[in-house]
Structure 1
Amino acid sequence: MEQSALPPVTLAELDQLATRASTVIARLRDRLYAPGHEKQLELRFNVRRAAEMVGRSDKLIRDAEADGRLPEPEKDPETGRRTGYSLTDVNRMRSVFGTLPYRADSDPAMVLAVQNFKGGVGKSTMVCHLAQYLALKGYRVCVIDCDSQASTTSMFGLNPDVDVDEEEDTLYPFFRHGGPSDLSFALRATYWPNIALIPANLGLYDAEYEFAARMARDQAFVLDRLRYGIETIKDRFDVILLDPPPALGMLSLSVLRAAEALVIPAPPNNIDFGSTAHFLKMLGATLNELARAGGERDYAFVKILATKMNDTKSAHVAIKRMMDAVFPMDMIQAVIKDSAEIDNATANLATVYELTGAATRTDTHKRCRAYLDAVGREIEILIRKTWPSHHAALRKEGLL
């Protein structure tokens, strides 16, 4: 038999490839996670912007500072000018003026999954930007990273290989037999006020094996463990965002059982939209199987979000038009556009919302921020519609 003209690739050579790849990753992490440089939120807001965020006039803010209800603003020691307000300062103002947007205790916290079984559709990007949009509005947010690739964990400033221990910091211990009964052990504060994180790392992938081994003898435990865990922390948050792995595995099934609403990111190109169509078909079949195994689960809403939209590509425009026609009541009207602004921020493990300085004054940034805000606003309204305590305000705003 004639031999191949190419030499075989041995296991030793594959090991060398993995070692070289690890070296590159280590160099990138050394740059992005410099020792002693914990990620911080550098956003500052002038009094006019703070007043807009709080929903009160800048005069009322100054009056509250004058009469002691609010602390005196920080000032530059050389110029004597205000240095601006942090998000923590803005939330303190909201508390004083009674404009924090929290749900009432009688309203259920919203558990929202950004779910698609295909990778590369903008899932983690959406989770991070939505979490930060809601935090800027004053909501209490928890982000649960269920993906062992840990992209969301990295975006929130943690090195998954160094800062996260799968035996103590991720969901993994909670899924093990005899593990903790409450998810509080894994909650971590982030540099964003009002955002807590349950991080992930590669070790979380072992939960798939734990689940598979336990599925035959304890199906209910496997399917609903995450949902029960979320119940132990729900009272602390308004919104809990789930970032599942891009695959149909046990963790993804757990997310589907735990979620109370779904946002499905779908780029408008033939391959990704085709995959999303298959995802929707699989979703229906999977949920029917899960219903037979552990009881039916309803969702408050299921919405499809067009991501990575490029208006200059005729194929994108045509497929988006088709999506709107096929799913007239199911599409989020706003879209996430294909933007160098998002790509450049993500390359530095940041989001568009945390950029500061001259970068935020460009037209490109303003456009990108506008469509991210539009998506966030639309999802925020959907969430508020699930809270009876917000219905009167929504009617007043003409949104209900």
Structure 2
Amino acid sequence: MQVWTVSNQKGGVGKTTSVITLAGLLVKRGYRVLAVDTDPQASLGYYLGVDPDELPGSLFDLFRYHEEIERQHVEAVIVPTSVPQLDLLPATTALATLDRTLGTKDGMGLILKRVLEMVSHRYDAVLIDCPPVLGVLMINALAACDRIVVPVQTEFLALKGLDRMVRTLEMVGRSRGTQYPFTIVPTMFDKRTRASLQALTALTQKYPKDLWHSVIPVDTRFRDASQAHLPPSHYDAGSRGVKAYDQLLNALLDQQGEFNV
């Protein structure tokens, strides 16, 4: 089982869209996929038509009772989606209280890693959607993953957010004695605008080794897919946005190796 974390310390750059599109494409290739929502806004769950307020449990419960959880507790919280072979570990707004209530306790940075190990036999791939805030949830998502995908909207302010994210990866990596492999993905690219072209040029110059060679274009089909509560790959497989993500998936698999099914 491989775990990919999709993260950036700026909101609105395409993190949730990246998670759900890559997850849908992996399912279409025959993989069993778990999508993990660590964002208190629960955007990933709402995207998939899951209302966290109607669920008996969530990721918050696994953190709250982390000293007592076993495999059956994790499996009880995971919910199936309308897409076969795609499950969800849902978030809830209560996750926003974790830093205040549990963030200072020892061992809080590895809870998600332990949770995922308990269900590793059920899935080939796990994709984690992160909040845009450095805290216990992001630290858990980083500690649990094999690779980090960093979506970056191709505009000036998003580039500043990327600089913060890269510094965070370096800081957390030093504290843990490791180096996090990451791939920067330019998103919401519009070749008709000077802002997108300039941002892409800046990314190419500053992060030549870590930047994916292509871009995710602006595509209204992403919005339509979210309204239909379907991964874009299942809503309109022929859209230009889905085709771009399919190329990204090929690149990520080339870097990490194919999943063992």
Q: Same fold (TM over 0.5)?
A: yes
- Partners of 1:279 and 1:324 in 2: how far apart? 17
- Partners of 2:146 and 2:60 in 1: how far apart? 22
The answer to whether residue 233 in structure 2 is matched with residue 353 in structure 1 is: yes
The answer to whether residue 148 in structure 2 is matched with residue 262 in structure 1 is: yes
Worse overlay, 129-138 or 230-239 = 230-239
Larger Rg: 1
Cα distance, 1:140 vs structure 2: 1.1
User: For residue 41 of structure 1, what is the aligned residue in structure 2?
Assistant: none
Question: Aligned to 1:369, which of 224, 242, 246?
Answer: 242
Cα distance, 1:273 vs structure 2: 0.8
| Larger strand fraction of residues | 2
Q: SS of 2:12's equivalent?
A: coil
User: For residue 12 of structure 1, what is the aligned residue in structure 2?
Assistant: none
- Partners of 1:239 and 1:255 in 2: how far apart? 14
Deviations 1:317-350 (A, max 9, x none): 1221221232222112232111222123324443
Question: Aligned to 1:144, which of 25, 29, 36?
Answer: 36
Quick check: 1:174–1:181 contact (8 Å CA) kept in 2? Answer: no
Cα distance, 1:366 vs structure 2: 3.4
The residue correspondences of 1:1-400 to structure 2 (distance < 5 A) are 109-162=1-54, 164-165=55-56, 169-177=57-65, 178-182=67-71, 183-212=74-103, 215=104, 218-219=105-106, 221-289=107-175, 291=176, 296-299=177-180, 301-355=181-235, 366-384=239-257
Deviations 1:160-192 (A, max 9, x none): 232x23xxx211122124441332232222221
Give the number of aligned pairs: 258
> What's the C-alpha RMSD, in Å, of the aligned pairs?
2.1
Cα distance, 1:274 vs structure 2: 1.2
Cα distance, 1:197 vs structure 2: 1.1
List alignment gaps of at least 5 residues for structure 1: 1-108, 391-400
- Partners of 2:137 and 2:222 in 1: how far apart? 28
- Partners of 1:312 and 1:127 in 2: how far apart? 26
Cα distance, 1:143 vs structure 2: 0.8
Q: 1:136 to 1:333 in 2, by over 3 A?
A: same
Cα distance, 1:377 vs structure 2: 2.4
> Which contiguous aligned blocks of 4+ residues in structure 1 show a shift greater than 3 angstroms?
347-351
Q: SS of 2:257's equivalent?
A: helix
Q: SS of 2:70's equivalent?
A: coil
- Partners of 2:235 and 2:63 in 1: how far apart? 37
| Larger RCO, structures 1/2 (Cα 8 Å, 6+ apart) | 2
Cα distance, 1:125 vs structure 2: 0.7
The share of aligned pairs that are identical, in percent, is 24
Q: SS of 1:161's equivalent?
A: helix
TM-score between both structures, scaled by the size of structure 2: 0.90
- Partners of 1:140 and 1:114 in 2: how far apart? 18
